[in-house]
A and B are shown apart, each in its own frame.
Chain A
Amino acid sequence: MKRPALEKQNLTKGCNEALILAALRAGPRHGYQLALDIEEASAGYFKFNHGTLYPILHKLEKEGLIRGAWSDEGPRGRRKAYELTRQGAALAGEQRQAWQVFCASLSAVIHGEDS
């Protein structure tokens, strides 16, 4: 599936996807871990509702950007962990750069207004 271009107007829209892809750069994670990791990494700024996580995860999985795999963890039962695909890792890298440019530009404008 074709991804939307990484233009400024799409960055905000794709924020949740970008957060998940970025969190998965650290390695495979279960859904609940992803939400906790994002919350922790942002010092509580991004409070992810776990319920809203699934549509994003499943969409990314359908698009081939992440891969979900079930594992049997004994008494804990079956668990589904997600990891980045090669395509997803590439997009996560692109998004990282795009967000850096976006944030730097935004910051420059905001600070420019202050001074």
Chain B
Amino acid sequence: MNRFADILREADTRLDLPRPVRARIVLEMAADLDDLFAHFTAGGLPPEEAEEKARQAFALSDEALAELAAVHVPAWQRLVDQLSLQGRSRLEKAGLLLLLLFILASGGLSVLSLEIPRAAGPVGWFLVALTGAALVPALRAGVTLFLREERDLRPTRRRVTALLLFSAADLLTGLYGWWLTIYGWVADFPVTSQGGIPLFTRVLARGSAVVVVALVCAILTALIWYLLQERLARLEQAEADLLLQI
């Protein structure tokens, strides 16, 4: 048991912040308290006295805690945290499952079978490759979080965050591909004005395919990010809880 568990537990209880943020703050405080204690004992104080001195030096005022919370809480995050307290786990699991089923039923399978990426042309293949590239950090993070459970989670956190960038890149590429397709049609229109309608139909089909592939890739990547992020937050919370145990 950590000798400062009561202080840490108090901070954890009084900090009005989402659990992952709170966990990181508690871990930081725990490390500093331990170091402060070690500093005083190294200075020749007996452990009891060193502990008392560390406690005195560490006093957490309401004002300090409120300021700390104010630094970390954007309004939307507070809202999400409140929702999460109301049976978040079940709702999230159900929501994720429904979203996944919806994606698979509404075009996701065609994307996975590469039927739509083929129709989307080069941009579609690029999007598939981008999602494939996103799977590399996702798999590495997954192995670390679910199988190895390493102590140093910094590289894993970076990999998990990278998935959001991949997801954003999918969306931006989709938007770019859509406008590129439209531009190609407009640029070619005077030359092929005889076949304007069929060409327009083809352009519309290709542009839509690009958007569908981009959306499916972005959502799938974001879903993987969400699952890994949740696992990461739970591991950090478990570490903080361990410190708070009596």
Contacts and interface: CB of A to CB of B under 8 A. Distances in A.
Nearest to B236: A78
Nearest to B67: A55
Nearest to A59: B71
- Count chain A CB atoms within 10 A of each CB in B33, B35, B60, B63 and give the residue with the most: B35
A72 B150 CA distance: 11
Given A30-B32, A59-B71, A72-B151, A49 B59 contact: yes
A55 B71 contact: yes
Given A32-B32, A54-B64, A77-B34, A49 B57 contact: yes
A8 interface: no
A79 interface: yes
* Size bracket of the B interface: 20 to 34
A4 interface: no
* Size bracket of the A interface: 20 to 34
A62 B31 contact: no
B199 interface: no
Interface in B167-191: none
A55 to B, nearest CB: 4
Contact of B61 (A31, A36, A52): A52
A33 interface: yes
A45 interface: no
- Count chain B CB atoms within 10 A of each CB in A32, A52, A70 and give the residue with the most: A32
Contacts of A59: 67, 71
Interface string B71-107: 1100000000000000000000000000000000000
Interface in B5-35: 25, 27-35
A51 interface: yes
A58 B27 contact: no
B40 to A, nearest CB: 10
6 contacts: A30-B31, A51-B64, A52-B63, A55-B68, A55-B71, A80-B31
Interface of A: 30-33, 35-36, 49-52, 54-55, 58-59, 62, 69-72, 76-80
